[in-house]
A and B are shown apart, each in its own frame.
Chain A
Amino acid sequence: MRYYFSEFKEGMLIAFQAIRANKMRSVLTTLGIVIGIVSVTLMGTAIEGLDRAFNKSIAAIGADVLYVQKWPWGGGHDWWTIRNRKDIRIQHAKVIERQATLAKSVSPVTATRRNVKYERKVVESVVIMGTDADFTETSGATIAFGRFLTPAEADGGRPVCALGSEVAVNLFPNENPIGKVVKVGNYAYRVVGVFDKQGSFLGMESLDNRVYVPINRFFKEFMSGRGGISVFVKAASLQQVDDAKEEVRGILRKARGLKPKQQDDFAINQQEIIIQTFNTIGVVIAGVGLFITGLSLFVGGIGIMNIMLVSVSERTKEIGLRKAIGATSRAVLLQFLIEAVIVSVVGGVIGILIGAGSSLLLSKISGWAVYISPFSVALAFGFSAGVGIVFGFWPAKKASLLSPIEALRYE
């Protein structure tokens, strides 16, 4: 035990002396590791940032909502089978609304795109959502001013609408939109309310570039094709999502006349599926990142190996002397391993600092929720030490196997 300790201390001392004596060389060697570790840190940060951004988006949409649809989310389905399914129709929403005991609210939802005009201003290709009065409750979206569609307006198919915040700002930069009449496609609608800003889903599709109209009117004025809808079902509580799903499933099977042996001809989607899809994408991103990172660490490691080989042959005589006065092969091995690990870990620490710095910068610039996890720091640290050990081993082993007499003779 004592042997290890004093040998270890001596190893540290020698390593620092050697590094100090060859500053430029050490710096250049370290650079390879620095680059590798910076990419490890940035990669970890990026993946985690993506994860967080995604979960935030998911939370905004609501994890307690079931989406009854013809098409299941995620890939890997038989396109023809699903295409040939009967559409989900408004009466299905009604059945669920009547019968489901575990549903807090149920809304039929359908959507298309139209240009929206007010006087001379136009917002192109706005998502037009046809739904009912319960939509605010079902989706969790909130109204900033005015109000949402009343049940009477929704069921009666009155020409009224509520605007997403982005549409409202674009059409009414200096005016109060409430009571104004906008043209949705070719039809006139009176604005009754404006939504709060909801942000975007994963920074892609804005949830604010929308106009909400009564679904009954939507069918008359915008319906194209066969007219299938989605039904959003908000469960009574987050804990009851799974039970609610089973209940809705039973109700729908009956409503659509399925026999016990027949498979569901509809899908009940959940955020979970998006999460799964995302995780699959995440794994691919992480895999590619890992490969690039691994490659740069490998190159850094080769640099370390190279410099350690130089160091060993430069110090052959010193190794001979140390062995002559009683250093065991193990002590020599340890000495050079320590040196390799120190060079590597110093590179690692610098890499972590640079990585953390640029992550913070990235978050300032992109507005992404960047977060440097202690885990990614520990990982980077472990990686750099590991690279030192792996790539330092062969040179160190070579040094330790030198015969003392031959090493001493070496010029």
Chain B
Amino acid sequence: MSTMIKLDSISKTYHMGEEDVHALQGLHLELQRNQYVAIMGPSGSGKSTLMNIIGCLDTPTSGLYELNGINVSEMNDNQLAKIRNKEIGFVFQTFNLLARSDVLHNVELPLIYGGVASAERKRLARESIERVGLTDRAHHKPNELSGGQRQRVAIARALVTHPSILLADEPTGNLDSKTGEEIMGLFDILHREGNTIILVTHEEDIAAHAHRIVRIRDGKVERDEPNKKRKVVTIPSTVMA
């Protein structure tokens, strides 16, 4: 298996007036292609900070970050934008959909910034929408959808560029447990199809879907082990449709 993500002595310090907040302190982490990792840890331990660095939304204060063998810790804004566009699929806790645009346009959005031609864009977007089982909702606005459906749209948007890695920071945090389970079922399928997935969660139930669990405390990896009691879910019919 090839190393996809390599984090070496990553530190992130926020300056808050007089005092410095050390969100990450010399963190090491390696990740192979098609792994399915859950990151857990107490609130304020640096999980989101780590995800943002992996997702190239933020840059570390020090340390080395290689994505697919490329050193991204020294890239400029434009290069980072391109990496985010092509290599990263981000799923947020709060969905972050454009309220005024329909599902199709929301999903198309990364391709627009990737310069994909219109017809090809529509084709890829529809394909991605189909994968999350929302074909019949393609022309609905986000406020006409349920929370679970919105998160699926966000996942479709993350998938549409066929990124190297899917990052989900508490993707079920705003959903009830049943809907959360459905979304996790979708992640399981995406993993089986060959996607690499990192998700942050507070819930053991959610983490149970992953193949590997990384526990973080005080900006460092506390424990990193394979998930022995992996949960096998029955796949909801909506996703199979």
User: Which residues from chain A sit less than 8 Å from chain B, CB to CB?
Assistant: 2-3, 6-7, 9-10, 17-18, 21, 317-318, 320-331, 403-405, 408
Contact = CB atoms under 8 A, between A and B. Distances in A.
Chain A interface helix/strand/loop/mixed: helix
B112 A6 contact: yes
Contact of A17 (B58, B77, B101): B101
Given A325-B90, A326-B84, A326-B86, A3 B115 contact: yes
B116 A321 contact: no
11 contacts: A6-B118, A7-B112, A10-B113, A324-B57, A325-B84, A325-B85, A326-B81, A328-B81, A330-B78, A405-B57, A405-B58
Contact of B98 (A9, A318, A328, A331): A318
Contact of B110 (A2, A18, A325): A325
B90 A329 contact: no
B88 to A, nearest CB: 8
A178 B72 CA distance: 103
Contacts of B84: 323-326, 404
Contacts of B114: 326
Interface in B146-195: 157, 161
Contact of A6 (B78, B96, B116): B116
Interface residues on B, range: 20 to 34
B223 interface: no
A328 B100 contact: no
B82 interface: yes
Contact of B85 (A2, A17, A318, A326): A326
B52 interface: yes
Interface string B69-108: 0000000011001101110001010001010110000000
Contacts of B100: 17-18, 21
A408 B82 contact: no
A327 B157 CA distance: 14
Given A326-B110, A405-B57, 8 more contacts: A3-B115, A7-B113, A21-B100, A320-B96, A324-B90, A328-B77, A403-B58, A405-B52
A321 B97 CA distance: 8
Contact of A408 (B96, B109, B115, B116): B96
Question: Which residue, A18, A325, A329, A405, has most C-beta atoms of chain B within 10 A?
Answer: A325
Contacts of B60: none
A329 B77 contact: yes
Contacts of A6: 112-113, 115-118, 121
Interface of B: 52, 55, 57-58, 77-78, 81-82, 84-86, 90, 92, 96, 98, 100-101, 109-110, 112-118, 121, 157, 161
B101 to A, nearest CB: 7
A247 to B, nearest CB: 74
B57 A404 contact: yes
B96 A321 contact: yes
Contact of A327 (B52, B81, B116, B117): B81
Contacts of B92: 408
Contacts of B58: 403, 405
Contacts of B78: 328-330
Contacts of A9: 112
A265 to B, nearest CB: 77
Contacts of A324: 55, 57, 84, 90, 96
A382 B236 CA distance: 58
The residue in B82, B86, B113 that gathers the most chain A C-beta atoms within 10 A of its C-beta is B113
B155 to A, nearest CB: 13
A2 B115 contact: yes
Nearest to B96: A321
B34 to A, nearest CB: 23
Contacts of B113: 3, 6-7, 10, 322, 325-328, 331
Pairs A-B, 5 closest by C-beta atoms: A326-B85, A3-B115, A326-B113, A328-B81, A325-B110
A323 B115 contact: no
B161 to A, nearest CB: 8
Contacts of A325: 84-85, 90, 109-110, 113, 157
Nearest to A317: B96
A388 B96 CA distance: 29
Contacts of A331: 113
Of B78, B82, B112, the most chain A CB neighbours within 10 A belong to B112
A371 B85 CA distance: 54
A1 B156 CA distance: 27
A18 B100 CA distance: 9
A9 B116 CA distance: 12
B116 A322 contact: no
Nearest to B87: A326
Contacts of A318: 98
Contacts of B157: 325
A18 B101 CA distance: 11
A77 B110 CA distance: 73
A10 B111 CA distance: 11
Contacts of A321: 96, 98
